[in-house]
Amino acid sequence: MSTRQRSATSGWRASRHKARRREARCTPYYVAPERLNNEREDFRSDIYSLGATLFHAIAGKAPIEGETNSAVALRELKNRPLDLRKIVPEVSEATARVFHRVIAPEPARRFSSYDELVAELEGAERALKGVDDVDLARGVRRRRFFIGAALLVALLAAAAFFFARQAQERARSNAAVSIPLPELERQYNDVRRQLIAGKHNVARAAFARLAIDAKNNQPLCDWARMHQGLAALIRREASEAQTAFREVESAGQTGFAREDVDLAKFFVATAKTLSAPGIVPASAGSGENSNGAGAFALLLFALKDVNQADCNDAVPLLERFANAQPAGNFAWIGEYKPLAQKYLGDCHLYLAWKNEGKKPAWPPCLQPWRTCVR
């Protein structure tokens, strides 16, 4: 790869052009969805291809239902991967869980590292050996199946290490064409404007890509992940939101400058609260500066509660956010106040509806709430 300096725009276009060329040469059923979307690939794309290939080897069919020559239709099929245990019921739950993650449509839901993948594979292997040892009376046929499955797990582990080496080589190649920080910041602000404009799904995917591109640039990477979580909460995609927050929590304070240590601690503490199960109490964030980054946490806490139909805690959090006066480097947080006001109005309407003696039909504006109310 040439070491000459290139502009961010030409580098980005070149990488997308290469992705399209690779797509034409690959087997479509094993290709990661992000390649079909012309999105940035990383080691998690290799994990998907590995998992899809081995899924086919075990199940006798690709991990999608049906066949198509249309890229659009193929993307839709990959968003609904098959359940391995429904095709091969004899597969253990532990092994099926590994496959469920490796062929997840969203990279954020796959394993966050090869070490994590290998650890899960080893755990599945131990579970298989345990089952095989406990019930020897079930016959040679079942023992052979589990021995074969254990060997498959070992093959997965070996393949994972192979792909890890490929990923390291890719990382060294990509280092020469990394996107400059000013360009990343420009993209970040553009995506924020899309979020404010109501293009929540577009923003969600863009923030996820940006977090990968900015992984060596803190605090931008964590801001992108937190915004990915925000967009996912708005779309009521709690699982993706939780994954994004966990990535922030697991990243810790690595990569932050000394003067940003307090901000790094804020990210970790906030992400820990957001990724934990249950609701966020109305008193959360009281120790944070609501005129700084702490205001952003209030909005996230409130939306997490809204996703669980807990308006009693969400309303005070939204009101505190609405009354906050973020300033200086955090003045941009105030741009989300119209969004908070909308949720505040919906919460008040929901509480009024809930407290009525005989509840009428759901108001049209509250129809989305039905999915999170049991």
DSSP state of 370: G
pLDDT value, residue 368: 55
The pLDDT of residue 176 is 39
CB 338, CB 323: distance < 8 Å: no
At 345, which helix (H) or strand (E)?
Answer: helix 337-355
Q: Using H for helix, E for strand and C for coil, what is the string for 48-82?
A: HHHHHHHHHHHHCCCCCCCCCCCHHHHHHHHCCCC
Q: What pLDDT does 133 receive?
A: 45
Handedness of CA 337, 339, 341, 343 (dihedral sign): negative
Helix, strand, or coil (residue 246): helix
- CA proximity to 221, closest of 271, 171, 262, 256: 256
Q: Please state the separation of Cα 80 from the chain's center in Å.
A: 16
Q: Are 161 and 118 in contact (CB under 8 A)?
A: yes
CATH number at 10-175: 1.10.510
Written as tens digits, the pLDDT of the chain (374 aa) is 333 333 322 333 333 334 334 433 445 778 888 877 767 788 888 888 888 888 888 888 888 887 766 667 787 888 888 888 888 888 888 888 888 898 898 988 998 877 788 888 888 777 766 644 444 444 444 545 554 555 555 555 555 555 555 555 555 444 435 789 999 999 999 999 999 999 999 999 999 999 999 988 999 999 999 999 999 999 989 889 999 999 999 889 989 999 999 999 999 999 999 999 999 999 998 877 778 999 999 999 999 999 888 889 999 999 999 999 999 999 999 999 999 999 998 888 888 877 775 555 545 555 555 555 54
| pLDDT attached to residue 198 | 94
Calpha distance 356→283 (Å, rounded): 27
Q: Collapsing DSSP states into helix, strand and coil, what is residue 26?
A: coil
